[in-house]
A and B are shown apart, each in its own frame.
Chain A
Amino acid sequence: MGAKLFGASVKRREDPRLLRGEGRFVDDIKLPGMLHAAFVRSPHAHALLRGIRAEAAAARPGVARVFTFAELARWMKPLPLFGAIPPGLAARVDVTMRQVAQLAMARDRVRHVGEIVAMVVADSRALAEDAAELVEVDYEPLPAVVDMIAGGAPGAPLIHPEWGDNVALRFKTGFGDAAAALSAADVRVQERFYVQRYVGMPMETRGVVAQWDPRDGSLTTWNGTQVVHFVQQGLVTALGLPANKIRVIAPDVGGGFGTKATGYPEDLLIPAAAIACRRPVKWTEDRREHMMAAAHARHQVHDIEIGATREGKMLVVRDRICVDLGAYNSWGIVLPYNTVAHLLGPHRVPALDVECRAVVTNKTPNAPYRGAGRPETVYAMDRIVDCLARELRMDPAELRRRNYLAEADMPYEIDIPYRDGNRLVYDSGDFRANLDAALEATGYDRLRAEQAAARSERGILRGIGISGYVEGTAIGPYEGATVRMDASGHAVVATGACSQGQGHETSFAQVAADALGIPLDWVTVVGGDTAAIPFGVGTFASRSAVNAGSSILDAAVKVREKLTAAAAALLEAAPADIEIEDGQAFVRGAPASSVSLERVVRSALPTFAKPGAVTADFEATVYHHQPTVTYTSAVHIAHVEVDPGTGAVRLLRYVVAHDCGRLINPMIVEGQIHGGVAQGVGGGLLEEMVYDEQGQLLTGTFMDYLVPTAMELPPIETVHLEYPSPRNPLGIKGIGEGGAISPPAAIANAVEDALSPFGVRVTRAPLGPDAVRALLVAAEEKKARDAGAGGGRA
């Protein structure tokens, strides 16, 4: 079959409706008689619930019901937990893990500001909010655990008292003789790096609408989620209904980033309210709720050390990692182990020694967010690599070149298991080629010369920062697709991998259209509907192109075989001689025999005169099994200018050279990279969820939680390198997250590079102007002290 569309920058088919405001999001769902929910949320970071009085709220005009834990007790099953330890991982890594499932509504204790305590359902959202203010809750405040290091130490206040401490997870792993390698190293560099708490911030907040149909005892719920089948399964458990009585629909969704791929109390509470009230209920999360109660992310401390020879050959990495989980360990092994599995990235390092602990704190629970442990670990690694370069007086690009793996090294095993329990084997790629391509696109040598001149002649401080990553993408174990033809000879593709803006309606259609031999416009892609396909995993972890794409390919090939058989019967030719192209079937070498696929499909339908030529089955479902990940890689280069007077950092350029295997649609790939880089720039320069010592959130609005706008972003240049993955039939790799992984590290390296005349060391993100100026002031003060001390001795 020909690849006419695969690889083409086809314009996104979903954009016209989205750009015209004709998208249909959860908040656009309006049902007759619909009620609106508002939540009473804890104002305390940590407190015991002593009593709730809801009578005044319930008595307000327009209020249908006020629900507390007691009213909903029969549905209050624990929310789902993720990140169980797979056997392959358990066999090699000794992980101590504790998980306590959150309840959809707090029963006797609240563990973070924003945790739900009661739900008000009323005729309008405004009325519901008015009534929610009247719900009286008796809290007995407890000391809050805010700092992850102190919180993990003995004697800290306990968040889950039955544990005896706040450490939810602990493990060691590594390979080689790290201690020997460290003592043998010519050079050792050590530092503590802090990666702040920052979060996915989709333009569309979360939302749920639920409708109970008493006719057949079925529930339909619209939910702005990345994981419809997962939400369905949670409702099966909590409501005690079979899956076929629960339909979960994710309509247009305005960004997910992982924030919408976790289990939430509202997924259950809104359906429960709809069943209890016998009326449709809507809840649209407002931005304040989103800030305090939608999943947070990142937030780690790394004590990292690297050892190398004088020539810059890396010998060993040792890292002691602390991960802040927020109030519940909902995601188990995922974030901590992702962090460890991606630490070494593109570098060849013969010994590794890692200890990781994850601590619960009285903050919003963390979940994977675009990169999920990788931006944090890459920050630590690329910062320490730059520190090593400085120690060796070696250009950071040269140091990386000497240690990056190349194509000849593939496949390359890092001798620890991957998070899915399989061996961690890089399947393909050339990380040195990524580096060289990025350096060339940047004009690295020229920029270095300009940097020196600008500094000495004009006092302008510019810096160049490099960061590279290797990312396990497309985690399995499966995704499915159903492909079927309609009576017009057009195709419908249904998959459990729903879109939050990634362009599935375009890229999946490209795969299907090529495989079926029909025009792109003839393919309709349906995602985000449990009624369209019974099983699914969802869209997260850069997995949909590989998992769903491979299923679509395989299913479409099967349908094409059925079409070929039907066309062969219709044209009285051998199936081997049938070709299908542009929606026409014909006998090879005889284009005049061409018939439309509509005729082919209809020829299979029985008439009163005769049965169909073949059975009218032009449908196939394939569940593609993906045992382990495939490895995407990239090198990012940031070029910055620092104003030493104000500490302001300006991004001048941003270059990405990357390999995500074969490109289905280069324009969509670039869009993914641009969006990811924008979020990474946020992490590098702007974004941080800040809590005070009592666990109060200080960044509850967009005035304080600062996402980058177009004004803060430089031009982003991309170079595509294509090393096809051997691990799926399309040769592709995931690109959804990659853009967000390296920017904090690249920017930090660039800022430190710009300030190298002052000898500062960047150890924290984000680099706001105050942080940068504080580095300069500290350096000046140290210089003055050293001069003073020197003078004293002289």
Chain B
Amino acid sequence: MKPAPFDYVAAASADEAVAALAQHGDEAKLLAGGQSLVPMLNLRLARPSVIVDINPVKALDYLREADGRLHVGALRRQRAVERWAGERLPLLAAALKHVGHVAIRNRGTVVGSVAHADPASELPALLLCLDGEVVARGPKGERVIPGAALFRAPLTTSLAADELVTEARFTLPRPEAGWGFAEVARRHGDFALVGAAALLWLDGGGRAAGARLAFFGVGGTPTRGAAAETTLTGQALSAERIRDAARAAAATLKPEGDIHASARYRQDVAAVLAERVLGEAWTRCRKAP
């Protein structure tokens, strides 16, 4: 299990990495944490002719809070973000605990996971749930891509072949918002068969002022549960209303089956998990100040 031959470029800066991408186009692959890429190389499922390693670009190893958002640089490891998120963004911390195992999170990057766009992984769904966006740098400069416009298909994004994601941004929920996270995987740390994340916040009268719901593992891309979000917003909450909203959202999904779970299982359990995460979020809501 050795990779097919490839050339290796150690990029000294983001611009060098972008230049290498521009030169090699589809033939090049970026290496950050390597937790998805390296196994695919060794299995010869991925056969890039050039690996562009951005690990030397220390300027991309950052995490900061600014303008109500969390900014994560392309080299910041998942484990470091998990440690930070424990208090500040417990929804993200809860999701990260399901990303592989500690050894994997010590190497894997948040941005890498988002850009890899595995539909069964947690972080792309979190980007949707937290109204996130990514900053893509290409030969002509930077652009910002909202999460909703990023994910196209399994392992496929709207990024151009010569673009490097330098940063992912997650909106910090308002303090009174409650959150919920759940996933079913065959084992702890496996990719999800079904997963869901939710945020919910209330107005002064105890009605839902806003809701976010995102699914993963139940389609070719992570998916916002828009049907639930609109159904709940502005309404007085009840267990029945949450269940109906969850079912409405799950009904819009189009999952496929594989050896680990059938399409029907994924669809049915998406409704179950959506109900649970919305219920958890409701329980965690604090009254608006």
Interface residues of A (CB under 8 A from B): 125-126, 129-130, 133, 286-288, 645-648, 686, 690, 698-699, 701, 703-704, 706, 708-709, 711-712, 768-770, 773-774, 777
The 8 Å CB contact of A648, one of B184, B189, B191, B268, is: B184
Interface presence of B208 (CB below 8 A): no
With both beta carbons as reference points, the residue of chain A lying nearest to B42 in the complex is identified as: A286
CB pair B5–A686 under 8 Å, yes or no, is: no
Please tell me which stretch of B20-28, B139-147, B154-162, B258-266 contacts chain A, meaning at least 4 of its Cβ atoms lie within 8 angstroms of it.
B258-266
The 8 Å CB contact of A711, one of B39, B43, B187, B193, is: B187
Interface presence of B66 (CB below 8 A): no
CB pair B188–A646 under 8 Å, yes or no, is: no
With both beta carbons as reference points, the residue of chain A lying nearest to B193 in the complex is identified as: A769
CB pair B186–A768 under 8 Å, yes or no, is: yes
Interface presence of B276 (CB below 8 A): yes
CB pair B193–A770 under 8 Å, yes or no, is: yes
With both beta carbons as reference points, the residue of chain B lying nearest to A645 in the complex is identified as: B272
For the complex formed, measure the closest distance between the CB of A460 and the CB atoms of chain B, giving whole angstroms.
Answer: 15
Please list the 5 inter-chain residue pairs (A to B) with the smallest Cβ-Cβ separation, ordered nearest first. A286-B1, A126-B2, A711-B188, A645-B272, A770-B265
Knowing A645-B269, A646-B272, A770-B260, the reply to whether A706 touches B2 (Cβ < 8 A) is no
Interface presence of B190 (CB below 8 A): yes
Interface presence of B51 (CB below 8 A): no
Chain A residues near B276: list those with CB within 8 A: 645
Interface presence of B4 (CB below 8 A): yes
- Chain B positions 184 through 222: 1 when the CB is less than 8 Å from some CB of chain A, otherwise 0: 101111110110000000000000000000000000000
Chain B residues near A709: list those with CB within 8 A: 187-189
Chain B residues near A703: list those with CB within 8 A: 190-191
The 8 Å CB contact of B5, one of A130, A288, A773, is: A130
| Assembled-state Cα–Cα distance A130/B2 (Å) | 9
| Assembled-state Cα–Cα distance A122/B276 (Å) | 56
Interface residues of B in 130-187 (CB under 8 A from A): 184, 186-187
For the complex formed, measure the closest distance between the CB of B253 and the CB atoms of chain A, giving whole angstroms.
Answer: 16
CB pair A704–B259 under 8 Å, yes or no, is: yes
11 A–B contacts, CB within 8 A, in A order: A130-B5, A288-B43, A646-B269, A646-B272, A706-B186, A709-B187, A709-B189, A711-B189, A769-B186, A769-B265, A770-B260
- Chain B positions 245 through 260: 1 when the CB is less than 8 Å from some CB of chain A, otherwise 0: 0000000000000011
For the complex formed, measure the closest distance between the CB of B246 and the CB atoms of chain A, giving whole angstroms.
Answer: 11
Knowing A645-B276, A648-B184, A708-B187, the reply to whether A699 touches B259 (Cβ < 8 A) is yes
Chain B residues near A129: list those with CB within 8 A: 1-2
The 8 Å CB contact of B187, one of A126, A287, A706, is: A706
Interface of B is mostly: loop
With both beta carbons as reference points, the residue of chain B lying nearest to A126 in the complex is identified as: B2
Interface residues of B in 94-147 (CB under 8 A from A): none
Interface presence of B273 (CB below 8 A): yes
| Assembled-state Cα–Cα distance A784/B187 (Å) | 33
The 8 Å CB contact of A773, one of B39, B268, B273, is: B268
CB pair A768–B260 under 8 Å, yes or no, is: yes
CB pair B189–A686 under 8 Å, yes or no, is: no
For the complex formed, measure the closest distance between the CB of B257 and the CB atoms of chain A, giving whole angstroms.
Answer: 9
For the complex formed, measure the closest distance between the CB of B41 and the CB atoms of chain A, giving whole angstroms.
Answer: 11
Chain B residues near A288: list those with CB within 8 A: 1, 43
The 8 Å CB contact of A698, one of B186, B259, B265, B273, is: B259
| Assembled-state Cα–Cα distance A706/B4 (Å) | 27
Chain B residues near A646: list those with CB within 8 A: 184, 194, 269, 272-273
Knowing A648-B184, A686-B186, A709-B187, the reply to whether A774 touches B265 (Cβ < 8 A) is yes
Chain B residues near A686: list those with CB within 8 A: 186-187
| Assembled-state Cα–Cα distance A286/B269 (Å) | 36
For the complex formed, measure the closest distance between the CB of A738 and the CB atoms of chain B, giving whole angstroms.
Answer: 25
CB pair B262–A712 under 8 Å, yes or no, is: no
| Assembled-state Cα–Cα distance A773/B184 (Å) | 12
- List 8 additional A-B contacts (Cβ < 8 Å) besides A646-B194, A768-B261: A126-B5, A646-B184, A646-B273, A690-B259, A698-B259, A699-B259, A703-B190, A711-B189
Knowing A126-B2, A288-B1, A699-B259, the reply to whether A773 touches B187 (Cβ < 8 A) is no
Most buried by B among A126, A130, A773: A773
| Assembled-state Cα–Cα distance A665/B259 (Å) | 42
With both beta carbons as reference points, the residue of chain A lying nearest to B272 in the complex is identified as: A645
| Assembled-state Cα–Cα distance A777/B39 (Å) | 37
CB pair A712–B191 under 8 Å, yes or no, is: no
With both beta carbons as reference points, the residue of chain B lying nearest to A710 in the complex is identified as: B188
For the complex formed, measure the closest distance between the CB of A168 and the CB atoms of chain B, giving whole angstroms.
Answer: 28
Chain A residues near B39: list those with CB within 8 A: 701
| Assembled-state Cα–Cα distance A706/B185 (Å) | 11
CB pair B184–A769 under 8 Å, yes or no, is: yes
For the complex formed, measure the closest distance between the CB of A289 and the CB atoms of chain B, giving whole angstroms.
Answer: 8
Chain A residues near B5: list those with CB within 8 A: 126, 130
Chain B residues near A125: list those with CB within 8 A: 2
The 8 Å CB contact of A701, one of B43, B186, B272, is: B43
| Assembled-state Cα–Cα distance A699/B265 (Å) | 20
The 8 Å CB contact of B4, one of A130, A287, A647, A770, is: A130
For the complex formed, measure the closest distance between the CB of B16 and the CB atoms of chain A, giving whole angstroms.
Answer: 27
Chain A residues near B1: list those with CB within 8 A: 129, 286-288
Interface residues of B in 69-92 (CB under 8 A from A): none
With both beta carbons as reference points, the residue of chain B lying nearest to A707 in the complex is identified as: B187
For the complex formed, measure the closest distance between the CB of A791 and the CB atoms of chain B, giving whole angstroms.
Answer: 25
